[in-house]
Structure 1
Amino acid sequence: MEKHNSYFDKPIFRIGVEVTIENEYAEFKYFDTSFDIEFSDEYELALTTFISKLKTGLNFISFNDEFPFFKDFANELIKTLDRYGFITESSIIINEDYITGLSLWKEIDSYASSYLSNIDLPLGKLLISENVTKEIIINYAIQYYHFVKAGPKIIAAAMALADRPVVHDILQSFLMSELNHDKLLLKALKGAGIDSNKILSSVPLPETFALITSMQVLAHQEPLSFYSCLFLVEEERPLFNELLKTACERVGLSSAFYKPILDHSHINEDEDHGAITEELLRNYSKISQETRIVVFKHVHNNLENLIALEKAVIEEAVNCVKEVN
């Protein structure tokens, strides 16, 4: 069956959603959250049918066949309804009602591996080319610093929502092992001649901020999604590290720069941070299919955030060089 954005087979309004249509306006309300849209007469039948079918479960294929001109508008409206939490899945094609946390971990690990194997990561691809520059590598380290610095506060927020002692203890140990890692990155940047005060007063790129914010929101609101995304930013990447070291030497960045970055990566490996998601999720024996869908959505979004960040690191450095010249 065709899926919308890979998340829904047959979306349906959550219980409690109210829709009012009047004078070419439609208002959607779910408890304290509401938004409205404006539509023209030509879309009225399609919109009212769309809303009616969402009350029992919307079949995209049959609806799009009936109202092909409304397809793009319907897709955007589904995105908005999903973002505000107005809809859920009505027909999950899975035999069991629940899965274990370990099963969820295996699924998301497999999904992330498959996703990453089918794309060229921008920064990794650039490191092996002759086009990599000192500015790009330094910009990567600066953005890496901003993310690492935010880490302990994000983990501390997740600890407050830990629903069982063993999970709290894992997060506490994880938090302790992440403290002061930002100083390693400052040391690396100092090794490249970058003044620490300049770094401390700098702000992250919008894409770095987006990744930080995404993890912060999950830590505060969606603990299982937070646990499920941690491995994306904690797994060591030996090949990337080797490419980074070689690229640094090629562009004239000494070990005073790249060694602290590699040291941080090795700490993550020694502490087995790449296994943090599995370690947390294995403590859950019963995860609903709706939660599974939410988790997959956030894992996918943060994979896209990571790729967007790599692209932005490259673009920002290139633009800065152009401005200087």
Structure 2
Amino acid sequence: MPSAQRLEEKPLSFKDQVLFKFKDTQIEIRHRDQGCAITIPEEGQQEILHFLRLLQIGNLSLKQLSQACPDIQNQIPELLDEFIQRGLLTETRDLSRVSGVTGRQFYRELSRFLKRFKQQFPPSPLSQQLADGTLSREQLIGYALESYHVTHLCPRLLAPALAQYETTMTQNLLQEFFVSELHHDHLIKKSLKSVGIESEQLAQLQPLPMTFTVCAALGVFARQHPLSFKTALMLFEEDDKVFHELFKQRCQALNMPSDFYRPILLHAHINEEGAHDQITADLLTDVPYVSPEEQLLVKKNMTLLIESMILRTYEILDYYGNPDNIIPRCFMTTKESRI
């Protein structure tokens, strides 16, 4: 079996169905019945995680991986040898020799890739706390507040994409999607009003850092990389009926007003009725060709976006779960309120 040094110039990647499991200072890496565990000190965790993400995306050689992860470059050959011996790695094709695919083909491949990528993370702690009945009233309100930011900013984040004409079909799809997203923030505003948060406070809201990050990413993609923008919409518009049912049940268990959860559920229903979760499939169907380089860039952008969304969930739970924190988070306020 070849060593990492002999594959120095060969692009490498994890095989399909390689999954990660994080346990404090350990990372378990498994592929079917094969696997290994890596123990890493706290100060090296981010660099190791970055290295593993790059291997999952693939098409990088030992030399390129070392350049991308300079802090652990001396450990990389040993790690790669371990992965090779355990059958976790595969040699990928040189991008210069790989042909592109149609947008429709890319959507199918990308959907499978993102599904595998999400499987490496534990279940959403927000959903878990809804299911076991430990999510607090403040955390429910915090979820609505952070959702307000996304719905309020959404039309402005989408707007740059409308200025980049590609085809009539794509333009029509984006225009229809833009119009359908207008005023969705009014529903969340009604929800928040029912728990005492007024419009004057909403005008001064400050988003959590990761809420700002995911919104900014969508805006950047809309202006600078249309293919990543079209793909990102599928992550923002995913429907989760189980989550929304648990959300309703938890609100009722805490005797929260129906005017709080009904607008949020109505917003989810509007997205479902409009088949918003299919917007990416529809947009990519109109893309005639996606180069290997573009495929790789989109995958990198989407993995970063998913990680940001996961971190956002933890931030919501942490901030709004702390009774000492001010709710809502405002830039300036004359009335600091504790919901």
Name the TM-score class by shorter chain. 0.7 to 0.9
Instruction: Return the alpha-carbon distance in structure 1 between the equivalents of residues 237 and 72 of structure 2.
Output: 45
Give the aligned residue type for 1:144: S
Q: Is the 8 A contact 2:271 2:277 kept in 1?
A: yes
Structure 2 residue aligned with 1:124 = 127
Q: Partners in 1 of 2:325 and 2:116 — Cα distance?
A: 36
Please give the alpha-carbon distance, in whole angstroms, between the structure 2 residues aligned to 1:207 and 1:9.
29
2:105 corresponds, among 103, 106, 110, to: 103
Q: Give a deviation string over 1:102-144, Cα, whole Å, max 9, x none.
A: 1111122222233334421121111112321000010000000
Q: Deviations over 1:25-80 (max 9, x none)?
A: xxxxxxxxxxxxxxxxxxxxxxxxxxxxxxxx93658x99xx99743799xxxxxx
What do the CA deviations read for 1:161-220 (whole angstroms, capped 9, x no partner)? 232221111100000011000000000111222222212211111110000011111111
Q: 2:309 aligns to what? A: 306
Number of equivalent positions: 261
Change (3 A) 1:266 1:251: same
Percent identity between matched residues is: 29
2:95 aligns to what SS in structure 1? coil
The whole-number CA distance in structure 2 between the counterparts of 1:185 and 1:68 is 45
Q: CA deviation at 1:91?
A: 2.0
The TM-score with structure 1 as length reference comes to 0.73
Q: Distance in 2 between matches of 1:308 and 1:91?
A: 33
Question: 1:243-258 residue pairs with structure 2 within 5 A?
Answer: 243-258=246-261
What pairs up with 1:35-74 in 2 under 5 angstroms?
A: 58=63, 60=65, 70-71=73-74
Q: Structure 1 residue 167 and structure 2 residue 170: aligned?
A: yes
TM-score (norm 2): 0.71
How far did 1:225 drift?
0.4
**Pair 1:221-2:224 in alignment:** yes
Larger helix share, 1 or 2: 1
Shift of 1:96: 4.4
1:114 corresponds to which of 113, 116, 122 = 116
| Residue 296 (structure 1) aligned to one of 290, 299, 312 | 299
Separation in 2, partners of 1:167, 1:138: 36
Task: State the partner residue of 1:140.
Answer: 143
Q: Secondary structure at the match of 1:306?
A: helix
| Distance change in 2, residues 1:233/1:194 (3 Å) | same
User: Secondary structure in 1 aligned to 2:196?
Assistant: coil
Question: 1:204 pairs with 201, 204, 207, which one?
Answer: 207
Report if aligned partners of 1:2, 1:9 keep a CA contact under 8 Å in 2.
yes
Q: Does 1:10 align with 2:60?
A: yes
Counterparts of 1:256 and 1:120, CA distance in 2 = 29
Cα–Cα, structure 1 residues 141 and 97, in superposed 2: closer, same or farther, change >3 Å? same
Instruction: State the partner residue of 2:193.
Output: 190
Separation in structure 1 between the aligned mates of residue 103 and residue 205 of structure 2, nearest angstrom: 39
Secondary structure class of the residue paired with 1:193 = coil
Unaligned stretches of 5+ in structure 1? 12-56, 75-88
Query: Is the alpha carbon distance of 1:224 and 1:192 closer, same or farther for their aligned partners in structure 2, counting shifts above 3 Å?
Result: same
Counterpart code for 2:275: D
Read off the aligned partner of 2:289 and give its amino acid letter: K
Q: What SS does structure 1 have at the residue aligned with 2:63?
A: coil
- Look up the match of 2:330: none
User: Structure 1 CA distance, aligned partners of 2:103 and 2:183?
Assistant: 31
User: Aligned AA for 2:124?
Assistant: L
Q: Distance in 1 between matches of 2:274 and 2:154?
A: 15
- CA contact 1:122–1:307 (8 Å) conserved in 2: no
| 2:285 is aligned with 1:282 | yes
1:157 is matched with which residue?
Answer: 160
The one-letter amino acid paired with 2:115 is S
8 Å CA contact 1:208–1:309 kept in 2: the answer is yes
Native 8 Å contact 2:187 2:267 kept in 1: yes
Match of 1:99, SS? coil
